[in-house]
Amino acid sequence: MTTTPPLNVLFLCTHNSARSILAEALLNSIAGDRFKAYSAGSSPRENQHPHPLGLQTLQAAGLSTEGLRSKSWDEFAAPGAPHMDLIVTVCDNAAGEVCPVWPGHPATAHWGYPDPSEGNTSDAQKREAFRKTLHTLKRRLELLINLPASKLGISSLQESARDLASQ
C-alpha cells in the first residue's frame, strides 16, 4: 500500500495572531494525515504572539495550541522551508499584498473573515467573535478535507480551494 504525503497548506493573515492561527490549529486537528497546516503573516509585529482570546477559543474547543506562534511568511519562502501545495489568505489585507514567490507555484485562494480581535468591544463580544470565526473556518475546512482525491490534484486544487470561498 502506498501512502501519499499530506498536502501542505499555509494560511496567511497580516499579523498571524488570530484567523490564520485558528485555521492552522483547526486543520491540523481535523485533517488526519491528508493535510499539514501552517500559518504566517505578511507583517507580524515584533514579539507578536497569537491573540490570547484565540488561544482560549482553541482550548475551549478541545484543540491543541502547542507550538503555535506568530511568524513571518518569509520563513516559508526561504530555502529548506516545507513545500506548500495550497496558500490561503484569510484576511482581506493579506489578500491585497504582494506575496513572495512561493517555490513550486502552489495553488492559492482567498477565504476572507472579519478580524475577531478588532474593534472597541468587550472581551465577551470578542470571545464570541473568535468562536464564530472558528466555527465558520471549521465548516469550510471540513469541506476541504472531504474533497475527493481528484479535486486535490495539482491541476484542480486551485479551482477546488477557490470554490470553497463561497461556502
Containing domain of residue 31, as a range?
7-162
Q: What is the pTM of this model?
A: 0.91
Report the CATH number at residue 17.
3.40.50.2300
Count of Cβ atoms closer than 10 Å to residue 109 Cβ: 21
> Which segments in the chain show pLDDT lower than 50?
1-2
Range 28-43 burial, b when 16+ CB lie within 10 A, else e: bbbbeebbbbbbbbbe
Q: Is residue 2 part of a domain?
A: no
Mind listing the pLDDT tens digit for each residue in 24-37? 999 999 998 999 99
Domains held by the chain: number: 1
Query: How high is the pLDDT of residue 1?
Result: 46
**Torsion, CA 155, CA 161, CA 163, CA 166, rounded to 10:** -170
Query: How high is the pLDDT of residue 93?
Result: 65
